């Protein structure tokens, strides 16, 4: 486990993230005593366009909604 200050973490962030990916624990400590642990996400973050083809919009999407007539221009 590596424990470093917030100022040091700002300078070495890329290196610290690599350490976490390799399975090391990294703790960032602030001057007031609070501490934070960097952890990897359990799944990769979705990429733009990864849901293409999974969502369908009905033909009536732009039709007025019943009961909302008073809000229509």
Determine the pLDDT at residue 22. 92
Query: C-alpha 3: how far from its chain's center?
Result: 23
Q: What fold, for 2-58? A: YefM-like fold (3.40.1620)
Which region, left, alpha or beta, applies to residue 4 given φ > 0 means left and ψ of -120 to 50 means alpha?
beta
pLDDT in tens, 1-55: 889 999 999 999 999 999 999 999 999 999 999 999 999 887 777 889 888 999 9
Q: Where are the domains of the chain?
A: 2-58
Alpha helix locations (H) across the chain?
A: 6-11, 13-21
Characterize 6-18 residue by residue with b for buried, 16 or more Cβ atoms within 10 angstroms of its Cβ, and e for exposed. Answer: eeebeeeeeebee
Determine the pLDDT at residue 41. 81
Q: Measure the CA angle with vertex 41, ends 36 and 44; round to 5°.
A: 150
């Amino acid at each position: 486990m590596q424990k470093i200050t917030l100022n040091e973490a700002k300078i070495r962030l890329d290196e610290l993230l690599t350490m976490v990916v390799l399975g090391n624990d990294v703790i960032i400590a602030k001057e007031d005593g609070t501490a934070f642990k960097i952890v990897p996400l359990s799944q990769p973050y979705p990429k733009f366009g990864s849901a293409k083809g999974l969502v369908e919009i009905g033909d009536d999407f732009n039709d007025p909604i019943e009961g909302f007539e008073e809000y229509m221009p």
